[in-house]
Copies of this chain bind each other. A is one copy, B any other.
């Protein structure tokens, strides 16, 4: 397999190209990024009609005290931008799974709350998701792999721009 996407022609000046070890890491990362989301989401999508991100949103609010969270905190927890979250919560509101209200203490904040209907949706979706995670990932990794994955992810963790 031709793993290097280096164009065959004259190479650029200032950017050092990837050595073999780097290339392998890069190839692996790319395949994770492009193939895993589908695998992880497919069961959730089929059985609960949810995106991975949507599931994370629901599950994080469901665990928060009183099942309520500020939009910005929720966005952070669910690994998404505020914009993305806003769109998702709007859809959830239309389906009756969530409700939004301004924070009485500071009107700039919006508090997102899970309804009972929304709660039932997460409860139904959770085992589906866990099964998918085991099947697509955890079952294929031993303890050392899992630890390494957690370590690497921690080092690469990065935040979307619009929440500072």
Contacts and interface: CB of A to CB of B under 8 A. Distances in A.
Contact of A53 (B4, B34, B64, B160): B34
B7 A137 contact: no
Q: How many copies does the complex hold?
A: 2
B155 A6 contact: no
A52 to B, nearest CB: 7
A17 interface: yes
A6 B56 CA distance: 10
Contact of A119 (B7, B22, B24, B40): B7
A137 B62 contact: no
Contacts of A32: 32-33, 152-153, 156
Which of A16, A38, A148 is the most central at the interface, judged by chain B CB atoms within 10 Å of its CB? A148
A65 to B, nearest CB: 10
A9 interface: yes
Interface string A115-149: 00001001100110111011011101101011111
Chief secondary structure at chain A's binding surface: helix
A38 to B, nearest CB: 7
Interface of A: 1-2, 4-12, 14-18, 21-22, 24-40, 52-53, 55-56, 58-60, 62-64, 77-80, 119, 122-123, 126-127, 129-131, 133-134, 136-138, 140-141, 143, 145-160
Given A5-B59, A145-B148, A148-B152, 16 more contacts: A2-B64, A5-B60, A7-B59, A18-B133, A22-B146, A24-B146, A25-B141, A25-B146, A26-B138, A28-B152, A29-B149, A31-B153, A39-B158, A140-B155, A145-B151, A149-B152
